[in-house]
Amino acid sequence: MKAIPIATLLPAALLAACACLTGSSGPGIFTGQSDVGKLSRPGTAAYDAARDTYTIGSSGANMWFAEDDMHFVWKKVTGDVSIAASVAFRGESKQGHRKGCLMIRQSLDPGSPMVDVAVHGDGLTSLQFRAAQGANAAEIQSMTAKPEVVRLDKIGDFVYLSVAGAGEPLQPSGAGFRLHFAEPFYVGLAVSAHDNAAFETAVFSKVEIGAASAAAALPQPGLRIITLPSGDRRVTDR
């Protein structure tokens, strides 16, 4: 069944371990940036006002299991909120699982509870989450690979993923997760190389932090979540 577009329902209104850059000023609409977890070299972040893009580089072994290794550009927020962006990687890489993420996070501790949408280098796009401090992360894979735009909507204690293919409006993906965040919490952009000896760069465009859309939480008839042999979960219409 066709999902309900949410892109035009509400206008976007701009609203600790190894945290090496915590407290430093952030680029663009963000107020801080931090190296979170174990990184072989400091992360980088730059805002291009002419192009309205954020270029973030990081090493780091992964954003998975019990901790995240990443460079994170952030601002603190309260209440219901959304974050949306397009994610593109710079250059070729052997790391199919390098990650560019939109993230909602409780703290800058590597093992913090969090929900993110991770766009991988090979196109896999997943709603990832860590339900408790130091717990192993899990994911729900989207049906849409290499999306044009991704969006997270935090509505109460739920975070929902919406995606848009090339030339398409944002639509609820069918993936969501319940996680309570104490206020204030962090929202922002993150990159991990998936190889701490490497350094990967992602460019985020069309970045918006604004009001959450109730349409993101609408039921999606015809979609269901299945468990894969790996133990991961995936949205499907079959």
Instruction: Report the pLDDT value the prediction gives residue 5, as an integer from 0 to 100.
Output: 47
Confidence of residue 21 (pLDDT cuts 50, 70, 90): very low
Q: Give the residue extent of every domain in the chain.
A: 32-236
Please count the other Cβ atoms lying within 10 Å of the Cβ belonging to residue 238. Answer: 7
- Residue 170 pLDDT greater than 70, yes or no: yes
**Distance (Å, rounded) from C-alpha 165 to C-alpha 114?**
25
- Residue 222 pLDDT greater than 80, yes or no: yes
- Residue 213 pLDDT greater than 70, yes or no: yes
Specify the amino acid at residue 133: Q
Residues 171/4, Cβ–Cβ less than 8 Å: yes
- DSSP secondary-structure letter at 215? G
Residues 129/137, Cβ–Cβ less than 8 Å: yes
Residues 162/172, Cβ–Cβ less than 8 Å: yes
**Distance (Å, rounded) from C-alpha 118 to C-alpha 99?**
6
Phi, psi for residue 214 in degrees, rounded to 5:
-60, -25
**Distance (Å, rounded) from C-alpha 79 to C-alpha 122?**
33
Cα 22 to chain centroid, rounded: 19
| pLDDT tens string 61-73 | 999 999 999 999 9
**Distance (Å, rounded) from C-alpha 182 to C-alpha 169?**
32
Instruction: Report the pLDDT value the prediction gives residue 23, as an integer from 0 to 100.
Output: 44
In this structure, CATH architecture of domain 32-236: Sandwich (2.60)
| pLDDT tens string 132-169 | 999 999 999 999 999 999 999 999 999 999 999 999 99
Instruction: Report the pLDDT value the prediction gives residue 24, as an integer from 0 to 100.
Output: 65
Residues 169/187, Cβ–Cβ less than 8 Å: no
- Residue 57 pLDDT greater than 70, yes or no: yes
- Residue 20 pLDDT greater than 90, yes or no: no
Instruction: Report the pLDDT value the prediction gives residue 25, as an integer from 0 to 100.
Output: 85
Q: What is the pTM assigned to this prediction?
A: 0.91
Residues 82/210, Cβ–Cβ less than 8 Å: yes
Specify the amino acid at residue 66: A
**Distance (Å, rounded) from C-alpha 11 to C-alpha 208?**
10
Alpha helices in the chain (DSSP H): none
- Residue 9 pLDDT greater than 70, yes or no: no
- Residue 17 pLDDT greater than 90, yes or no: no
| pLDDT tens string 77-116 | 999 999 999 999 999 999 999 999 999 999 999 999 999 9
Assign 143 to helix, strand or coil: coil
- The mean pLDDT value of the chain amounts to 91
